[in-house]
Amino acid sequence: MEKFSLCGDLCLCALCVKKMNHPLCNATEHALSRRQWLGGMGGAAAAGALGGLISPASGEVLKKKEKQVLFIWLDGGMSQLESWDPKPNTQFGGPFRSIPTNLPGVHVSELMPRMAKKMDKICLVRGICTKDNSHSRGVGRIQRGDPKNRGVIYPYIGSAIAKLMGPTASGLPPYVWVKPGSGGFKPTDAGFLGPKYGALAFGDGQPPPNFIRPKSLSVEQDAARNELRRALNLNYAKPRRKANTEANSFVFDSADALLARSDIFDTTKYPRKEKERYGEHLLGEHMLIGRKLLEAGCRFVKVNSYGWDTHGDNFNGSTSLVGRFDQALAAVLEDLEATGRLDHTLVIAMSEFGRTPRINGHAGRDHWPEAWSIAMTGCGLNRGVVLGETNAKGTFVKGDAWDIGHLFHTWFHALGINSHDIEFDNGGQPLPIAHDDMGVIPGAIA
Amino acid sequence: MIIGLCLGALQVGAGEALHLRVDKLIAAKAGKQPLAGTASDAEFLRRVYLDFTGRIPTAKVARKYFSDKSKTKSAKLIDQLFAGPLWAETMAERFHVMLMERRGEDEEWRKWLANSFAKNKPWDVMVREMVAPDFLNEAKRGAGFFLTKRLEKYGQNPTDYPGLTRDVGRMFMGVDLQCAQCHRHLTVKDYKQVDFQGLYSALSNVRLQRTNETIRVAWASEGLLKRKMEFGSVFSETKKATGPRVPFGEEIAIPVFEKGKEWVVKADRKKKITGVPAFSPLREIALRIVMPDNPFFARNIANRAWFLMMGRGLVEPLDLAHSKNPPSHPELLNLLAQELVAHKLDLKWLFHELALTQTYQRNSVLPKGGDAPRHLFVAAKERPIAAEALLLSMLLATGEKERVAKLEEEDEHSLKNFEDLFQSTFANAPREPELAVNATLKAALFLRNNESLLWLVKPREGNLVDRLAKLKEPEKIADEVFMNVLSRTPSASERAMVKSYLKKQSNRDRALGDLVWALLSSTEFYVNH
């Protein structure tokens, strides 16, 4: 990495405080250009795997349990009072009871019977206090970790991980997004990192355009023509700089890797029992697809659920929404644990904010960033802990409160990324990867 | 003979052609690093065709060129392409991609670009027409698209005046002042907040106007600039102010007019008359940007021309010229800029000289001594092929260009549909410069599975696969397919590969289609090398 010629004498900012040894950057232009290439997928890979070339090391990489992320985004704002932080029989408590969990002394809403039996697997943060109470800004702000304003658009967490960690040895795109609605290559999540770190979205759980092999093309024919393409490429590649050919091979092989897992997108073939366990609703189905994408080797999988903005009829709404979430989350945790994946998979479930304790005239709850909860687990986080608390009425955080910046530091550290030392390099401008005045939440990391 | 040589050796310096002086400076900097040899006929031919006609050569052109034994054929070919009808169109295409960064298309703009290059309009005139457009002049108003497109709102964002300011700096002076908007630039000492704000004061005074009866394009008007732009750094309390000012230049005084004289045409809302102020900051800025005393102007375009030809700027990034980021070859950039000014900003002359350099004509195969840092230019760099050129090349290679051009726009395989497909697959997102070869998963999936793309490699009367099917010997097939797609003859091992592939496949038509597909999907085809 090039040295920054930072201000030095005119140091006005925290930008200059940091050291410049960037363990993720590579000095040679070769590596940089390969990184560019590998990353250049519009939805996106960074450096890491070498397509087409099985180097002796890559077997080892495969065996090594690579760290991955499952990011569950409940768009609109889940009510903490109807889920992780119930306050029954209080002014704002609402109609639902709370139930004991397998963690002594910890109760959750009765809408979460399955997760109640799994609280020993969760790192629950009840002392969340963030700043933005509008969706249009909150959604982006929270997923960007709300860093200090430096005049640039920060990447969403998925793009940041794609940049910082790259694809796994699977060669699959590092940032994928299972969501209702439209799919395709979504470059804007990447902010200043550039479109190559954007998301590959599986809209309605379906693969991107041109994913399906045309009927007229058999598997054998496809393999044969690709074999020919590879062989012919070698003649050109041999006496030249490697970067472009490697990158070209990488994206073709990445397409292969994805195509080889087209089974993931055919949910009609999923075992009935498995589907029932995750729940026969969109969130359940998408969570199941998400789990398969993790197993296939995607670095960061975002599973998106919409419709959580319960300004009206919050209690009926929450009954169905939280119920589905409870089922899908419990199922995916069970599977990740059973396969040992939870130890190297960071799981995060959250919204852009919580909901108001005050119940409005439409039996709804409005936006409330002041005091809400986020559940997370896996990948070196402490399990069976509850961090922070809200006051008796659930209106504000009592004691230590944590902002999204603290959570970003915590997640990065859980993934082995020292967020105090590592910075993004935005064309020479060093930018902290998480809010520079915040740090890891005490007690979160084992 | 000997006398001639001596004379040649004495001619170092002013009298010598620019391309020779360029090569000397490149060789001097490379020092002991071995340089790659001259590109093969095939590589050179493909490169100049892509650069100056926006497409690969046809097999016919290639065969004719390879059979020409004249020693001056490369220079002759360059002359011929520079005089040809496609030169201006191709330059227009390449400048469109560079200047607009995929923000969108506009017919008048493309016409203006093509006409400007066809007439070999000097670069300073072109820049003045873009920065201070004359929307009443039909021949020139297309240039205004540079401004008007950037004044359009996108999404829910307000008009991006800071972005426009940034782009005027980037495109015409090679300086990205974005980070100096709110305070002095934190990593570039030369860029002060006033450099941004001075340009911003002129550009934020511009308003986008709708088409009307006289001006049938989106256009822009200027407001009455009475006061200096006030600004302050977010790091301090001090307030400053500046009038319009070209970065690093002198402030332009805002004239004071007698009452009533400040407008040439007075605005009248009721009559829907847009005012024309007597003082046009845009015109003043445009005039001063291109003045010889603004060294950034000629150096920027010299650097960008170099980048377009060599795949890497002498200053990198292209838009970060400042004293702590010197060019890789300072003397060379000085020379290019000076000579360009001496030649009245004649871009055709500059591109022609650059095309004649050994540096441009080098092989992309690495020299025997191995690779050296990229900025030494020891071998030709692989460069991206823009979506439009890639499409034209694929249509030519597969022998489908004429058929596709004749189809109605609604037809699934019409040129328009192919253009849309290729742009959405291979072009970058809006506002994202296309600087390097970019392999994407999207493109790989497109090449592998897109039905329209695969349609090109199905046998159809007169197309490449059809012609291949009529050949008997596999060697002839190999020769024909390589010449049409890769513009070269295959090596012995490649011929053998083709032969064994065809032998293994039972369905001959399919196998031939796949053979064409494999070459179209290769790195060799995908890059300009």
Domain membership flag for residue B135: yes
Top-confidence residue, A146 or A427: A146
> Do residue A217 and residue B515 have CB atoms under 8 angstroms apart?
no
Give the model confidence (pLDDT) of B233-255 as tens digits.
Answer: 988 888 999 999 999 999 999 99
Percent of chain B whose pLDDT exceeds 70: 97
Looking at the fold, whether B308 and B281 belong to one and the same domain comes out as no
Chain B residues lying within 8 Å of A240, measured CB to CB: 364-366, 382, 529
* Lowest mean pLDDT across A233-242, B302-311, B418-427: A233-242
Residue A21: predicted pLDDT: 30
Looking at the fold, whether B268 and B340 belong to one and the same domain comes out as no
What is the CATH class of A29-211+242-432?
alpha beta
Tokens of B154: 């996108």
Give the end of a domain, one of B261, B289, B317.
Answer: B289
Percent of chain A whose pLDDT exceeds 90: 67
Residue A20: predicted pLDDT: 30
> Do residue A196 and residue B440 have CB atoms under 8 angstroms apart?
yes
Give the model confidence (pLDDT) of A277-315 as tens digits.
Answer: 999 999 999 999 999 999 999 999 999 999 999 999 999
Q: What is the mean predicted confidence (pLDDT) over B88-101?
A: 98
Query: Cα-flanking dihedrals φ and ψ of residue A203, to 5°?
Result: -65, 130
Of residues B346, B343, B306, the one with CA closest to residue B82: B346
* Amino acid type, B151: L
Give the model confidence (pLDDT) of B425-481 as tens digits.
Answer: 999 888 889 998 888 889 999 999 999 999 999 999 999 999 999 999 999 999 999
Give the model confidence (pLDDT) of B212-238 as tens digits.
Answer: 888 888 999 999 999 999 999 988 888
> Do residue A151 and residue B428 have CB atoms under 8 angstroms apart?
no
* Lowest mean pLDDT across A136-140, A368-372, A374-378, B375-379: A136-140
State the nearest Cα–Cα gap between B497 and chain A, in angstroms: 8
Residue B328 DSSP class? S
* Amino acid type, A338: A
Residue written as tokens 């050129």? Answer: B389
**Predicted confidence band of residue B260 (pLDDT cuts 50, 70, 90):** confident
User: Number of residue pairs across A and B with CB atoms under 8 Å?
Assistant: 158
State the nearest Cα–Cα gap between B366 and chain A, in angstroms: 6
Residue A57: predicted pLDDT: 35
Looking at the fold, whether B296 and B403 belong to one and the same domain comes out as no
Q: How far apart are CA B227 and CA A78, in angstroms?
A: 51
> Do residue A37 and residue B438 have CB atoms under 8 angstroms apart?
yes
Residue B216: predicted pLDDT: 84
Looking at the fold, whether B322 and B195 belong to one and the same domain comes out as no
The beta-carbon neighbor of B501 closest among A36, A209, A228 is A228
pLDDT at position A152 over 90: no
* Amino acid type, A102: N
Chain A residues lying within 8 Å of B450, measured CB to CB: 210
Chain A residues lying within 8 Å of B443, measured CB to CB: 251
> Do residue A236 and residue B518 have CB atoms under 8 angstroms apart?
no
**Domains in chain B: how many in total?**
3
Q: What is the mean pLDDT of chain A?
A: 85
Task: Tell me the C-alpha to C-alpha distance, in Å, between residue A412 and each of A21, A69, A406, B503.
Answer: 17, 11, 10, 55
**Predicted confidence band of residue B13 (pLDDT cuts 50, 70, 90):** low
Residue A259: predicted pLDDT: 86
Chain B residues lying within 8 Å of A257, measured CB to CB: none
Domain membership flag for residue B67: no
> Do residue A252 and residue B324 have CB atoms under 8 angstroms apart?
no
> Do residue A429 and residue B186 have CB atoms under 8 angstroms apart?
yes
> Do residue A240 and residue B183 have CB atoms under 8 angstroms apart?
no
Q: How far apart are CA A118 and CA A103, in angstroms?
A: 8
pLDDT at position B170 over 90: yes
> Do residue A210 and residue B365 have CB atoms under 8 angstroms apart?
no
Q: What is the mean predicted confidence (pLDDT) over A242-257?
A: 84
pLDDT at position B12 over 80: no
pLDDT at position B128 over 90: yes
Q: How far apart are CA B179 and CA A301, in angstroms?
A: 33
Give the pairing type, strands A300-305 and A68-74: parallel
pLDDT at position B73 over 90: yes
Q: What is the value of ipTM here, to two decimals? A: 0.89
Q: Which residue of A has its CA nearest to B492?
A: A235
Percent of chain B whose pLDDT exceeds 90: 86
Of residues A384, A201, A370, the one with CA closest to residue A302: A201
Domain membership flag for residue B192: yes
Q: Which residue of A has its CA nearest to B382?
A: A244
The beta-carbon neighbor of B365 closest among A13, A239, A252 is A239
The beta-carbon neighbor of A185 closest among B317, B442, B523 is B442
Domain membership flag for residue B1: no
Which uninterrupted H or E stretch holds A113?
helix A113-116
Chain B residues lying within 8 Å of A250, measured CB to CB: 439
Chain A residues lying within 8 Å of B47, measured CB to CB: none
Looking at the fold, whether B134 and B281 belong to one and the same domain comes out as yes
pTM of the model: 0.82
Query: Cα-flanking dihedrals φ and ψ of residue A130, to 5°?
Result: -115, -175
* Amino acid type, A137: R
Give the model confidence (pLDDT) of A8-30 as tens digits.
Answer: 222 223 332 232 333 332 223 22
State the nearest Cα–Cα gap between B59 and chain A, in angstroms: 19
> Do residue A210 and residue B379 have CB atoms under 8 angstroms apart?
no
Chain B residues lying within 8 Å of A247, measured CB to CB: 437, 439
Chain A residues lying within 8 Å of B379, measured CB to CB: 241
Length of chain B equals 529
**Predicted confidence band of residue A64 (pLDDT cuts 50, 70, 90):** low
DSSP B361-406: HB-SSPPTT----GGG--SPPPEE--HHHHHHHHHHHHT-HHHHHH
Range of the domain at B253: 124-289
DSSP A52-108: T---HHHHHHHHS---EEEEEEETT---GGGTTS--TTSTT--S--EEE-SSTT-EE
Cβ atoms A78, A321 nearer than 8 A: yes
For B65, residues 6+ apart whose C-beta sits below 8 A from its C-beta are B41, B45, B57, B73, B77
**Predicted confidence band of residue A413 (pLDDT cuts 50, 70, 90):** very high
Q: What is the mean pLDDT of chain B?
A: 94
Q: Is A390 helix (H, G, I), strand (E, B) or coil?
A: strand
State the nearest Cα–Cα gap between B97 and chain A, in angstroms: 17
Domain membership flag for residue B421: yes
Looking at the fold, whether B255 and B311 belong to one and the same domain comes out as no
Domain membership flag for residue B80: no
> Do residue B441 and residue A43 have CB atoms under 8 angstroms apart?
yes
Chain A residues lying within 8 Å of B493, measured CB to CB: 235
Domain membership flag for residue B522: yes
**Predicted confidence band of residue A253 (pLDDT cuts 50, 70, 90):** confident
Top-confidence residue, A131 or A55: A131
State the best of B40, B47, B186, B525 to mutate against chain A, taking most chain A CBs within 10 Å.
B186
Q: What is the mean predicted confidence (pLDDT) over B399-414?
A: 96
Chain A residues lying within 8 Å of B374, measured CB to CB: 29
Peptide bond connecting B317 to the previous residue in cis, omega within 30 degrees of 0: yes
> Do residue B514 and residue A173 have CB atoms under 8 angstroms apart?
no
Looking at the fold, whether B275 and B247 belong to one and the same domain comes out as yes
pLDDT at position A136 over 70: no
Domain membership flag for residue B83: no
Looking at the fold, whether B129 and B227 belong to one and the same domain comes out as yes
Residue A95: predicted pLDDT: 96
* Amino acid type, B287: L
Q: Which residue of B has its CA nearest to A172?
A: B441
- Per the DSSP assignment, residues forming a β-bridge with A357 are none
**Predicted confidence band of residue A1 (pLDDT cuts 50, 70, 90):** very low
Looking at the fold, whether B284 and B305 belong to one and the same domain comes out as no
For residue B131, how far is the Cα from the chain centroid?
Answer: 18
Give the model confidence (pLDDT) of A138-149 as tens digits.
Answer: 899 999 999 988
> Do residue A241 and residue B379 have CB atoms under 8 angstroms apart?
yes
* Lowest mean pLDDT across A191-195, A350-354, B311-315, B519-523: A191-195
> Do residue A37 and residue B317 have CB atoms under 8 angstroms apart?
no
Looking at the fold, whether B274 and B307 belong to one and the same domain comes out as no
> Do residue A240 and residue B529 have CB atoms under 8 angstroms apart?
yes
Cβ atoms A166, A26 nearer than 8 A: no
Chain B residues lying within 8 Å of A170, measured CB to CB: none
Chain B residues lying within 8 Å of A233, measured CB to CB: 522-524
